[in-house]
Amino acid sequence: MLPRLLATALSVAVVSAHLGPVHPSMYCYDGCASGTQGINYNNDDFVKPLYQMSKSDWWFHAYNNVPKYPPQAGQFLELPAGKSFTVEIASNRGETSYSFSGKFSSEWPDGGNYPEDYNVPSCITSPNMHTQNQSMAAGTAFAIAYTSDINQVTEDNLSVFTVRYHTPWKRETSYDVPADMPACPDGGCICAWGWIPNGCGQPNMYHLPYRCTVTGATSTKAIGTPQPPVWCQDDSSKCVKGPKQMLYWHQNDGDNIEVDGLDNAGQPKSPAYNMNCGFADGAQDDIFTGAGSSAPAAKVKTSSSSTSSSKSTSATPAAAKADSGSGSSSSSSPAVQKVAVAASSSSSSASPSSSSAPAPSSSSAPTCKNKRQRRKRAAEVAAGVAQHRRHAKHGF
Ligand SMILES: *[C@@H]1O[C@H](CO)[C@@H](O)[C@H](O)[C@H]1NC(C)=O
Ligand SMILES: *[C@@H]1O[C@H](CO)[C@@H](O)[C@H](O)[C@H]1NC(C)=O
């Protein structure tokens, strides 16, 4: 495993990888490329961007079968009503806490180390964040559909419920859940993560599915029917209020937004999960415009008690592996514990700067191998930046 990671994942991270949130509740968690067998601890099948594809290919990243590889039974992205949850945005599962005990992960999405004020005027490409620096990062979002059947989800019932400005940036990223989120059906809801970068490379799109559930729900207000967002940087009265669809852009069909001309900064308009398209940062509290929800709050298994909640948060890949027969003793992963911490604290993690938690404390002290790896990575980063500078001129 180790030689494979060093030989493939690390170079992939520099050459072609993009970013997506890794979590055991994601579709394609263990890999989904054709021929995938068993668990691919270096899985990056889900991070490939979507650009000028037909809707049947881009919807939930179907072109390489992401929706056909559901998460293991019992795995949910838990959305604590009125609090926040944390995912690990990475270019490869191998660079998160969910593979190799997190030893190839860092504070950053590709396991590398970069300055806190990382800034590359010609665009950061390692990790491939499609931005010059944190303040220019376009923003990302999670949306939810109140069905357990991924095939029942369309743009008409997938509503953005949380947005985090200035992301993707660090690996651990937190999103706030509206206090009024109603409970999901027994089998959970379907969530989706979206990102449209603001230039700095190919103007592509991300649309990834997760199985999620709302914990601690007390409200039964339903989310209304989401409307397509519109560009409203020039006139905030034009912004769509209430529930909004995710942004679908630059595909061959299925787009729900068109823009032309330049934005206020003189750059080509690029729709994104920020105020330019009417999305506030944090929990989208204005989405509960529907009729009363039919889902009774008490029905969701994982929200019934703190016991069951701690049980589900300990269901790490390691634990799942042990369940399936290896019998090795498994401890819960630090990042998952962090999710629980984030969930139990109030929504104070709302600001972009505090949303980037430090790397898991278990990431082992530097070993010779790690140092070598870092040196190698530093060289690769330098090469990547240089390569990007060349590519930037050609519109990559
Ligand atoms: C971020 O990048 C933009 C665009 O290059 C630049 O205008 C801005 O000054 C940068 N901010 C920081 C904090 O470096
Ligand atoms: C979502 O909307 C589609 C129509 O676009 C509908 O066929 C489907 O049943 C809806 N699903 C849910 C869960 O409401």
Q: What is the pLDDT along the chain (396 residues), one digit of tens a residue?
A: 333 444 344 433 333 459 999 999 999 999 998 776 789 999 999 999 999 999 999 999 999 999 999 999 999 999 999 999 999 999 999 999 999 999 999 999 999 999 999 999 999 989 999 999 999 999 999 999 999 999 999 999 999 999 999 999 999 999 999 999 999 999 999 999 999 999 899 999 999 999 999 999 999 999 999 999 999 999 999 999 999 999 999 999 999 999 999 999 999 999 999 999 999 999 999 999 988 644 444 444 443 333 333 333 333 333 333 333 333 333 333 333 333 333 333 333 333 333 333 333 333 333 333 344 444 444 443 333 333 333 332 322
Quote the crossing angle between the two packed helices 306-313 and 334-344, to the nearest 10°: 150
Q: How far is the CA of 118 from the centre of ligand 1 (A)?
A: 10
Residue 231 bridge partners (DSSP): none
Indicate if ligand 1 lies below 6 Å from the C-beta of 121. Answer: yes
| Cα–Cα dist 389/71, whole Å | 38
Number of other CB atoms surrounding residue 88 within 10 Å: 26
Per-residue pLDDT tens digits for 156-165: 999 999 999 9
Distance from the alpha carbon of residue 135 to the mean position of ligand 1, in angstroms: 7
- DSSP letters spanning 226-253: -B-----TT-GGGSPPS-BBPP--SSSS
Instruction: Collect all residues with Cβ–Cβ distance below 8 Å to 327 and sequence separation of at least 6.
Output: none
Burial of 38: CB neighbours in 10 Å, binned 0-12, 13-18, 19+: exposed
* C-alpha 129 to ligand 1 mean position (Å): 14
How far, in Å, from the CA of 384 to the mean position of ligand 2? 44
Distance between CA 322 and CA 337 in Å, rounded?
Answer: 18
Residue with the smallest CA separation from ligand 2 atom 11 is 152
Indicate the top mutation candidate among 122, 130, 135 to test ligand 1's pocket, ranked by most ligand atoms within 8 A of CB. Answer: 135
DSSP letter (8 states) at residue 32: -
Q: Ligand nearest 294 Cα, by number?
A: 2
Pocket of ligand 2, beta carbon within 6 A: 145, 147, 152, 154, 156-157
Cα–Cα distances (Å) from 77 to 61, 215, 341, 369, 388, in that order, read: 18, 10, 15, 33, 35
Instruction: Pick the ligand that lies closest to the CA of residue 295.
Output: 2
Smallest-distance ligand from the CA of 198: 1
Q: How many CA atoms lie within 13 A of 72 on its CB side?
A: 17
Q: What is the pTM of this model?
A: 0.75
Using the mean position of ligand 2's atoms as its centre, give its distance from the Cα of residue 98 in Å.
33
- Beta carbons of 284 and 310 less than 8 angstroms apart: no
